[in-house]
Structure 1
Amino acid sequence: MVVDPGTGGAPARTWGRRGMLLGGLGVTASLIAACGTDTDAAGPSGSPSTARSLFPVTVPGKEGSVTVKTQPSRVVAAGYLRDTDLALALDVPLVGAAKNSAFASGLAPWQKPSDSPELFDTTNGLPLEKIAGLRPDLIMASDDYTLIKDWANLAKIAPTLSYLSGVGADSWQTMTTRAGTVLGKPDQAQQLIKKTHDAIASAKKSNPQLAGKTYTFGPVSSLDSLFTINDDSDASAQFFDQLGMRLSPEVTSLPTSSTPRRAQLSMERIGLLDADVLILAFPDLAVREQLEAEPLFKKLKAVQRGSYVAFDMAAAVAVAFPSVLSIPYGLQVTVPKLVAAASKV
């Protein structure tokens, strides 16, 4: 199983299913009230007195609301990626998590648990018996792309956190806020959001040479599967846009393929990818070498002047699946390459 790092894609056997919107900070006041957040609770965030005052909480969700009576002590992250990110970022007892088949270890490089949660394979669906055997008191499934069919079964095992708006439709800020609420750590969640926003702002300020530079970005799984992002609302596009870059007008006018926010190109039309900075993502070195050997690819102006950047899976997934853990990693591994490429323009 692979993922679509070009459009914030869901886990799939081919790259491409959906786009992920990076929305505004936090959620509405009505949602926060519904979640039962108590900003006037005494004691520091995460302390026993504060935690007790925050529960029980009810968090609304698209597939169903979740009610948690006490602070969770055995959490399972059943979603594709960001449920694990949020459990780790908020430092909760993570006893199990969905294995990420994009990485040999089953975990992304920015996921560094202090303990060793049991990783389970979701290629053929969620292993419900194994999840039940972990005895969770909370299942985080806001990044579960099959939750519409998983919800009823998961909710029978333990209280289950759904997405708010729809599969892949919640911003990373909303996901963080809701996770902080259900885990009894609302203040810590807001601190993580602020820290991540500050990291983005710092990267933009420290690298003014990126401002105004046009770019194109897309996943390449084979010479017959060449795609490019054509919509600014894509999660990956939002990552680059926040650094001051802008999506090339040459691709925003292209018709969208069956995959949202993505246009498909033939090799004969690869010239449309030319921009100040050309960014491509590859599942492995073999596919990258195959494309880079193509004569039409070599003729691209961005390639000839050294303004071409190749992302590996880790960088691509970090950009496409934004969270308070993946965004800092994405900034660290991609910004130097982007700056080097932009300097050649």
Structure 2
Amino acid sequence: MGAALALSGCSSGDGGASSGDGKSGGSGRTAQAAAASFPVTVSGKEGAAKVTSPPKRVAACGYLRDTDLALALGAPLVLATKNAVFPSGLAPWQKPASQPVLVGTAAGMPFEKIAAARPDLILAGDDYQLHDHYAKFAHLAPTLSYRKGVGQDSWDEMARRAGDTLGRREQADALVADVREKITDVREQHPELRGRTFTFGPVVGGDVFTIKSADDAGAQFFGQLGMTLSPKVTSLEDSATAGRAAVAKERLDLLDADVVILAFDTPQGREEFEAQPLFKELKAVRRGSYIGLDMATAIALGFPSVLSLPYGLDAVVPELSEAAKRNA
């Protein structure tokens, strides 16, 4: 599934890899203490992951955040799904110490290649087709599902569930605490964000989409900064992905809010969209409260994890602050 399509709602340890940030390579627990976490069973909507011993070969088979969590927690990652948006197949915040096998999913989930990697644990809580894939995954190895539904588990819950499955819960808790502290610092340093309404979504191939549910992970991210999803979009019909809606070109007024945030799949697409008269007429655009993001930053925020959030915060907060101040 392409990152732009997923964002739009078109639906879309030894030898282990680390995120390269100096924190994820170890939690300070001894191997003996980690092993004491097993056997462990982590329940999920599609089924339970029953892991008897510390995983030695982990496959990240969801869209994006499963790879994030494996890297952040220093799991022995041997295979990951390729992200077609990024030339390397990995997002800029995904920096493995050793290169896992990257597999494409454009033609469907490559179960034969996954089987060839001989995983003893599959992380798939971010797989948008997990309902259809789970039985095949579980036949290969214990598989971590989402708890509530695809795209519905919060970033901190996803980290803790992965930590439980990997026997690295203390490390997961520490990562969550670090990111929460960063978010709290941003919220306290930028009171201008509190109470501001926002809309957020991508423009893909000229089609416009927006997050419409406050339960969406991207909406929750901005909510943690004190912002509120615009009521103009909350009653729109779902697109193929729950919580995200298509916006007709003649109804761009629905996007208007204190701050309008859009992402674009190409520079040309951004130029053409921003030239539209209806877009130029939005109050947010006219006062300078509109932010245009590259797709990498939008994905970091729209699919938040303990690994992507610091990247996304650093990229968007300065512009977000300036856009909010123009509402004064």
For this structure pair, what is the TM-score category when the shorter chain's length is used for normalisation?
A: 0.7 to 0.9
Residues 8 and 202 (structure 1), Cα distance of their counterparts in 2 relative to 1, 3 Å cut: farther
Alpha-carbon separation, structure 2, partners of 1:174 and 1:299? 40
Q: What secondary structure sits across from 1:54 in the alignment?
A: coil
The answer to whether the 8 A contact 1:80-1:145 is kept is: yes
Q: Take 1:256 and 1:129, find their aligned partners in 2: how far apart are those partners? A: 34
What's the counterpart of residue 65 of structure 1? 48
Equivalent position of 1:18 in the other structure: none
Distance 1:257-1:83 versus aligned 2 partners, 3 A rule: closer
Q: Percent identity?
A: 54
Ranges of 4+ aligned residues in structure 1 off by more than 4 Å = 4-11, 253-259
Amino acid at match of 1:47: T
Higher mean C-alpha deviation, range 256-265 or range 269-278: 256-265
Question: Partners of 2:246 and 2:137 in 1: how far apart?
Answer: 37
Query: 1:291 is aligned with what amino acid?
Result: F
Q: TM-score, normalised by structure 1?
A: 0.84
Work out which of the residue numbers 131, 134, 143 in structure 1 matches 2:117.
134
Tell me, which stretches of 5 or more residues in structure 1 are unaligned?
13-43
Cα drift, residue 258 of structure 1? 5.8
Task: Give the stretch that moved more between structures: 156-165 or 260-269.
Answer: 260-269
- Structure 2 gap segments, 5+ residues each: 13-26
**Which residue pairs with 1:261 in the alignment?**
243
Structure 2 CA distance, aligned partners of 1:341 and 1:102?
A: 27
Contact kept, 8 Å, 2:205 with 2:265, in 1: the verdict is: no
For 1:180 and 1:89, locate their aligned partners in 2 and report how far apart those are by CA, in whole Å: 10
Q: How does 1:4-15 map to 2 (within 5 A)?
A: 4=4, 9=9, 11-12=11-12
Q: State the AA in 2 paired with 1:112.
A: K
- Determine if the alignment matches structure 1 residue 309 to structure 2 residue 326: no
Counterpart mapping for 1:1-345 below 5 A: 1-4=1-4, 9=9, 11-12=11-12, 46-223=29-206, 225-254=207-236, 256=238, 259-345=241-327
CA deviation after TM superposition for structure 1 residue 118, in Å: 0.8
**Cα distance, 1:310 vs. partner?**
0.5
Contact 1:142 1:163 survives alignment (8 Å): yes
3-state DSSP of counterpart to 2:204: strand
How far residue 91 of structure 1 moved from its aligned partner, in angstroms, is 0.6
Residue 294 to residue 254, structure 1, CA distance change in 2 (3 Å) = same
Specify the code of the residue in structure 2 equivalent to 1:296: L
Q: Secondary structure at the match of 1:278?
A: strand
CA distance in 1, matches of 2:311, 2:120: 30
Residues 215 and 246, structure 1, Cα contact 8 Å, conserved in 2: yes
- What is the aligned residue count? 313
The letter of the residue matching 1:123 is A
Amino acid at match of 1:80: Y
Deviations 1:43-64 (A, max 9, x none): x753122022111212222222
How far apart are the structure 2 equivalents of 1:252 and 1:139? 34
1:32 alignment counterpart: none
User: Deviation of residue 105 (structure 1)?
Assistant: 1.0
1:128 to 1:222, Cα distance in 2 relative to 1, 3 A: closer
